[in-house]
Structure 1
Amino acid sequence: MNFTYFLIILVKLLELKNIKRREFLSNVCPTVAFAIAGISIIEACSKDENVDVSEQIQGGFTVEGNIVRIDLEDSSFSLLSSQGWMNFTSQQILLLKLGPNSYRAFTNECPHRGNRNSWTYNSAESKFTCSSHNNSYPSDCLSDGTAGGVLKCYSTTLEGNILTVTKS
């Protein structure tokens, strides 16, 4: 049932009870307006459940405790070569290629609200942006972002084609 039909039914019911239109509008309209706008506003500020709808990477890495070893030659990690970064959602890591033999890794948890799957990277500004609230975070591991602080960095080492990320 759409909103117009709802109002028509309410008006008909109120006519049966002999309530004047002005009285009806002054009593009902604020409630209806809040119901329509208020829920949207409250929902917009709620914390995302971070349901990962992206394809999970099945191979090309191993995990031992807090250490993740990534085979950079595996096709699952081709985004690192083509776009220079990727959100490795199953391990909750953002990976960034700085150069031919240099990588950085970060938590993919936004410092502002904890979202994990809404990231983009701006290479011109060297910043990750969480599109949930458009907050950006420098990739230098030192500078505060626009909200919530610094994007947490993890240590990385590269041996051959194996990138090791130590989450701490």
Structure 2
Amino acid sequence: MKRRNFIQHLCPALTVAQLALLSSCQEEAETVVPATSEDEKEFKRVSALFNDEGFLIEGKSVFVNLAHKNFSKLADISGFSNVLEAGILLIKTDNTTIKAFDNCCPHQGARASWVVVNGRFKCENHGNSYNTSEVNLVTCSSNSISGGLVRFPVTLYKTYLKVLKS
């Protein structure tokens, strides 16, 4: 009976400890913040203004029509799009999250030659890769060969995405 009592008291404690350890090790999932009524009005206003490429630049805001054929790669996780004219890289990181980054390479400022390898943007000019987790952020043309690309906040409304460049 002593063994049974020991196991009955120890097992629940071990289970709780294991769950606590697992939850602390998992990366916090990002949630998509629903668009506000003001965002909704803004998206309705700009929806008729998109260019033939499927996006609109208005001041520091970039609006993207995700239903446009130029952004079809964003339907898949790890799919990305480089919007050169707007200066942004877009990547779909999970079923509900699209992240936006400065498309200027921190090493020497290249903008056109990106690929995604293991969830990181790799500049094909010199082979440097940059994370998308906002760790050790490095800015455009800072001669950095590693670190994280600068991320811009996004708002999603139906099939429209708004990127607010800083």
Q: TM-score, normalised by structure 2?
A: 0.60
SS of equivalent residue, structure 2 residue 73 = helix
**Pick aligned residue for 2:134 from 116, 119, 141:** 141
SS of equivalent residue, structure 2 residue 72 = helix
Larger RCO: 1 or 2 (CA < 8 Å, sep 6+): 2
Q: TM-score, normalised by structure 1?
A: 0.60
Q: Distance in 2 between matches of 1:76 and 1:139?
A: 22
Percent identity over paired residues:
35
Superposition pairs of residues 34-45 of structure 1, within 5 angstroms: none
**Pick aligned residue for 2:66 from 65, 72, 77:** 72
1:81 Cα deviation from its structure 2 partner: 2.0
Q: Determine if the alignment matches structure 1 residue 152 to structure 2 residue 147.
A: no
Superposition pairs of residues 89-128 of structure 1, within 5 angstroms: 89-122=84-117, 125-128=118-121
Q: Is the contact made by 1:101 and 1:158 (CA closer than 8 Å) also made in structure 2?
A: no
Superposed CA deviations along residues 60-104 of structure 1, whole A, max 9, x for unmatched, are 222210001111011121122256111111211110011222110
AA matched with 1:110: C
Q: Distance in 1 between matches of 2:128 and 2:108?
A: 10
Matched residue count: 110
Question: Which contiguous aligned blocks of 4+ residues in structure 1 show a shift greater than 4 angstroms?
Answer: none
SS of equivalent residue, structure 2 residue 153 = strand
For the aligned residue pairs, the C-alpha RMSD in angstroms reads 2.0
SS of equivalent residue, structure 1 residue 105 = strand
Q: Is the contact made by 2:129 and 2:146 (CA closer than 8 Å) also made in structure 1?
A: no
AA matched with 2:162: T
Q: Which runs of 5+ in 1 are unaligned?
A: 1-56
Name the larger-Rg structure.
1
1:106 Cα deviation from its structure 2 partner: 0.5
Superposed CA deviations along residues 131-154 of structure 1, whole A, max 9, x for unmatched, are 111100011122457716431111
